[in-house]
Amino acid sequence: MLKIIGLTPHPPLIIPEVGRGEISKVEQTVTAMERLSRRIYEAAPERLIVITPHGPLQREGVAAIAAPLFEGDFGQFGAPEVKVSLETDRELLEQLQRETAGESLHTIVLETGGRRRHRLSMDHGAAVPLHYLQQAGLSCPGLHLTYTFAPYRELYRFGASLRRAIEKRGLPAAVVASGDLSHCLIPGAPAGYNPRGKEYDHLLVELLRRGRVEEILDLDEELVEDAGECALRSFVIALGALSGENFHTEILSYEGPFGVGYMVAEILPAKEEDSSSGSSMSKNGERPAGGDISGCSDPVTLARQALRYYLEHGRFPEAPDPLPEALSTPAGVFVSLKKGDELRGCIGTIEPLHPSLAGEIIANAISAGVKDPRFSPVSLEELDELTLSVDQLLPPDPIESEAALDPKIYGVIVRSGHRSGLLLPDLEGIETAAEQVAIARRKAGIGPGEKVELFRFKVRRYE
């Protein structure tokens, strides 16, 4: 039921009553915000979730405001007459609490008003996009969420929990993730000048444009810190709400006239699942009427039928239900496709992005078939000509040098800053550790002389 995601900046100066004469300098951002807001309105969501960096931060988890009506204005920016509000959907909030109760990040509910309660007004991180949405005509209940400084993968999993809460609420929803990119693009910028700010902005915009979630989650923490940004964690939660989904990103604008990067983007998830199909997939991989994969328990069969379902229906299938025990634990997975002896596609994740092995296999099988940039997308007609293998990655261990590698037993990960390359073990033609590391370096774009961290890992291979 997630209809649309908007990624927005939040400079108060893009509010006409605040920016006044300066607003002409951010015309691209203003135009894009109006365009995005119209698209969100036209998607007809009945619930709106706003994720902001500037609400009440809570160390223990993601903060959610429980005020029946959460209100704010731009008085601190000289425009008290410009007001915004968001009614809290208490039922959705309670569902989100249930979904995150067993996760590493909980939902921290903040009641407002009264003795020992928080006296809060809406922050500009939420108020700026809300203003544009309300100007476009959108008025519906939802949630105000403030991220916490947790690892990106934990925030991503929180986003997956948010998606489950939305689906169980049963109403179409939109998510708006608010945040500014680098605050140090030019001399005199709010966080001072740092040339890495531009590097970060260009990299993040390109990764979002190309849907490279794994690379976003693996961004170099020093680069992010040097950029002085406040957007990434908001965006990661929003991307988590798409875990297991195919999606398309359109960058509507990017500019940084005042030394702060402002990006506006629209993300459209795959179409909602058609619940009319109901037959199970047989264990031997035969295709049943309707294409449901609920009976799949073998990793290779699951990978094949997930890709078949996507090619037939243009959307992701649900994971098996009930989930077999062997497919319930999250893990990094690589799915490889071969046509004869030739590689036809291979996509994987070093660390899990989904709450189960089944979800990881489904996503990576589909990506290997249609998103590997080295190959044209697989067609439904050729699927039966392909052989598939699934490699479940066991936890990697750091090593001091190539001497600790055996390419027949161990895979290798090389890492330098935000760049990382992986090579699976026991690949045809790879005889030495030096060859293995050299190829992993090339895959990551890491030069022969650059210093790297090395990790080795074993896999559980299914063929």
User: Is-cis flag, bond preceding 322, omega within 30?
Assistant: yes
Place of tokens 């807001």: 37
Whether residues 238 and 316 fall in one domain: no
Q: Taken in order 339, 342, 344, 346, is the CA torsion positive or negative?
A: positive
Q: Are 123 and 74 in contact (CB under 8 A)?
A: no
Residues 6 and 120 in one domain: yes
The verdict on 253 and 187 lying in the same domain is yes
Picking from 393, 424, 452, the residue at the C-terminal end of a domain is: 393
pLDDT on residue 421: 86
Helix, strand, or coil here: 208? Answer: helix
Given a contact cutoff of 8 angstroms between Cβ atoms, the answer to whether 240 and 156 are in contact is yes
Q: Is 454 part of a structural domain of the chain?
A: yes
Q: Is residue 449 part of a domain?
A: yes
pLDDT at 296: 56
Q: Are residues 260 and 333 in the same domain?
A: no
Phi, psi of 197 (to 5 degrees): -60, -45
Q: Based on the fold, state whether residues 155 and 187 are members of the same structural domain.
A: yes
The rounded distance, in Å, linking the Cα atoms of 34 and 152 is 30
CATH number at residue 330: 3.30.700.20
pLDDT at 35: 95
Cα(194)–Cα(342) distance, integer angstroms: 46
The answer to whether 397 and 405 have CB atoms below 8 angstroms apart is no
Say if residue 194 is in the same domain as residue 332.
no
The residue behind tokens 């929180």 is: 158
CATH number at residue 451: 3.30.1490.150
- Same structural domain, 93 and 215: yes
Domain limit, last residue, from 393, 413, 434: 393
Which two structure tokens, joined as six digits, stand for 150?
A: 């947790």
In the block, tokens 């999250």 appear at 330
65-90 tens-digit pLDDT = 999 999 999 999 999 999 999 999 99
| Residue 370 shares a structural domain with residue 436 | no
Give the DSSP letter string of 265-314.
Answer: EEEEEPPPP-TT--PPPPTT-PPPTT---TT--SHHHHHHHHHHHHHHHS
> Of 224, 136, 128, 216, which is closest to residue 178 (Cα–Cα)?
128
Distance CA 350, CA 52 (A): 28
For residues 407 and 352, membership in a common domain is answered with no
CA distances 429 to 347, 433, 439, Å, are: 20, 12, 12
The pLDDT value recorded for residue 119 is 55
248 shares a domain with 231: yes
Distance CA 317, CA 390 (A): 18
List pLDDT tens digits, range 195-246: 999 999 999 999 998 888 888 998 999 999 999 999 999 999 999 999 867 7
> Is residue 173 domain-shared with residue 229, that is, in the same domain?
yes
Which residues span the domain enclosing 411?
397-462
Task: Kindly state whether residue 223 falls inside one of the protein's structural domains.
Answer: yes
What is the DSSP-derived secondary structure letter of residue 319? P
* Residue 137: CA count within 13 A, CB half-sphere: 9
Q: Examine residue 41 and state whether it is found in any structural domain, yes or no.
A: yes
Angle between helices 90-100 and 152-169 (to 10 degrees): 130
In the numeric block, which tokens belong to residue 207? 């990764």
CATH code at position 122:
3.40.830.10
Question: Which phi and psi (to 5°) does residue 57 adopt?
Answer: -70, 135
Does 143 reside within a domain? yes
- Name residues of the chain where pLDDT drops below 50: 114-116, 272-291
**Would residue 57 be called left, alpha or beta, if left means φ above 0 and alpha means ψ between -120 and 50 degrees?**
beta
Is the domain of 344 the same as that of 210? no
333 falls within a domain:
yes
Q: Which helix (H) or strand (E) holds 360?
A: helix 357-370
**DSSP string spanning 137-186?**
T----EEEEE--S--HHHHHHHHHHHHHHHHHHTS-EEEEEE----S-SS
Is 57 within a domain? Answer: yes
What's the domain count of the chain? Answer: 3
Tokens of 54: 């500037």
Residue with token string 């290779």: 300
Within a domain: residue 280?
no
Report the pLDDT value the prediction gives residue 275, as an integer from 0 to 100. 32
DSSP code at position 20: G
Helix or strand (DSSP H, E) at 441 = helix 433-444
Q: How far apart are the first and last CA of the chain?
A: 35
The candidate with the shortest Cα–Cα distance to 354, out of 97, 157, 150, 151, is 157
| pLDDT (0 to 100) of residue 355 | 77
End residue of a domain, out of 359, 378, 393: 393
> Which one, of 269, 331, 390, lies nearest residue 3 by Cα?
269
According to DSSP, residue 26 is labeled G
